[in-house]
């Protein structure tokens, strides 16, 4: 079982995401994260899906995806040769006792402070999923009031271009 990132190009119209996600649920596969975004071609959307499974399961997902009417391309992202990023927004309870240690932790992780109020600080952090996991783990000694995390988005490094 390994974490796999799939980058899928689909036609940009209603219902595509529902049909794509139903492929996973009908076969009992879990979607660890899902991101849908615009591309440089307004007729296409890029869907980045992170899932965990064996080689046979991933091959089945790829083959089933290719049968979708809206399918234009699918590419398994190699984590060693790709740029994979997520965005985290996290609101942490803050007072005069813990504010400096929260700011120090933000500096270490290169998190941006996007809001400060009397009782809380909101941080923004972009990076590899493991970096965000580590930051959240370090924040567990504080009171996390709210948290929102995007799914992974990814592009292959170098000259490789995924297109129709």
Q: Rounded to two decimals, what is the model's pTM?
A: 0.83
Backbone angles phi, psi at 136, to 5 degrees: -60, -40
Domain ranges of the chain: 2-77, 83-153
Q: What distances in angstroms separate CA 22 from CA 19, 60, 61, 63, 100, one per listed residue?
A: 5, 14, 11, 14, 46
Nearest residue to 33 via CA among 72, 79, 76, 85: 85
Nearest residue to 31 via CA among 9, 11, 6: 6
- pLDDT (average), residues 16-23: 89
Say yes or no: do domains 2-77 and 83-153 share a fold.
Answer: yes
- pLDDT (average), residues 96-124: 97
Local confidence band at 163 (pLDDT 50, 70, 90 cut-offs): low
- Is residue 154 within 8 Å of residue 82, measured between CB atoms? yes
Distant-in-sequence, close-in-space partners of 24: CB < 8 Å, separation ≥ 6: 30, 31, 49, 51, 61
Q: Please give the CATH number for the structural domain made up of 2-77.
A: 3.30.70.260
| pLDDT higher than 80, residue 162 | no
Domain 83-153 CATH class label:
alpha beta
């Amino acid at each position: 079982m390994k974490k796999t990132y799939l980058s899928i190009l689909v036609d940009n119209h209603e219902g595509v995401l529902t049909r794509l996600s139903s492929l996973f649920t009908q076969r009992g596969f879990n979607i660890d994260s899902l991101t849908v975004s615009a591309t440089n071609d307004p007729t296409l959307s890029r869907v980045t899906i992170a899932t965990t499974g064996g080689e046979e399961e991933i091959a089945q997902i790829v083959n089933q995806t290719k049968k979708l009417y809206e399918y234009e391309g699918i590419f398994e992202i190699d984590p060693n040769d790709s740029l994979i990023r997520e965005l985290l927004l996290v609101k942490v309870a803050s007072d005069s006792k813990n504010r400096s240690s929260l700011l120090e932790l933000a500096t270490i992780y290169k998190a941006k402070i996007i809001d400060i109020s009397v009782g809380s600080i909101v941080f923004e952090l972009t990076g590899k999923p493991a970096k965000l996991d580590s930051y959240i783990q370090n924040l567990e000694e504080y009171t996390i009031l709210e948290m929102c995390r995007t799914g992974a988005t990814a592009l292959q490094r170098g000259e490789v271009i995924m297109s129709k």
